[in-house]
Amino acid sequence: MFGDWARLSTDAGVRSRSINAENPTGAAGGAGRAASALGPGRKGAAFLELPAGQTLTLAQIPGAGVIRHIWITVADRTEGGPFVLRDLVLRAFWDGSDSPAIEVPLGDFFCNGFATRALVNSAPIVVAPTGGMNSYFPMPFRNGARLTLESQHAADLPHVFFQIDYTTGEDVDPSVGYFHATWRRSNATTSLGEDHVILDHAAGPGKYVGTYVALASLHRFWWGEGEVKFFVDDDDEYPSLCSTGMEDYAGGAWAFQDELRTDPRPAVRTFSAPYFGYPFYSHEDETKASPFATAMAPMNGLYRWHLPDPIYFSERLRVTLQQIGAWDHGLFERQDDVSTTAFWYQSNPGGGGPSLPVAADRWPR
pLDDT tens for each residue of 69-82: 999 999 999 999 99
For domain 3-361, which CATH number applies: 2.60.120.1390, 1.10.569.10, 3.40.50.1980, 3.90.650.10? 2.60.120.1390
pLDDT tens for each residue of 87-122: 999 999 999 999 999 999 999 999 999 999 999 999
Residues in contact with 70: Cβ distance below 8 Å, sequence separation at least 6, in sequence order: 133, 134, 135, 147, 162, 163, 164, 165
pLDDT tens for each residue of 218-254: 999 999 999 999 999 999 999 999 999 999 999 999 9
Distance CA 83, CA 75 (A): 10
State the pLDDT at residue 13.
87
Backbone φ and ψ for 359, nearest 5 degrees, come out as -55, -45
State the pLDDT at residue 294.
80
* Average pLDDT in the chain: 96
Kindly list the domain boundaries of the chain, sorted by start residue: 3-361
State the pLDDT at residue 74.
98
The yes-or-no verdict on residue 10 having pLDDT over 80 is no
Distance CA 73, CA 299 (A): 23
The pLDDT of 198-214, averaged and rounded, is 97
Distance CA 131, CA 108 (A): 13
The yes-or-no verdict on residue 1 having pLDDT over 70 is no
pTM equals 0.97
Distance CA 189, CA 149 (A): 28
Q: 3-state secondary structure string, 34-55?
A: CEECCEECCCCCCCEEECCCCE
Residues in contact with 349: Cβ distance below 8 Å, sequence separation at least 6, in sequence order: 94, 95, 97, 101, 141, 178
The yes-or-no verdict on residue 2 having pLDDT over 80 is no
Percent of the chain with pLDDT over 90: 93
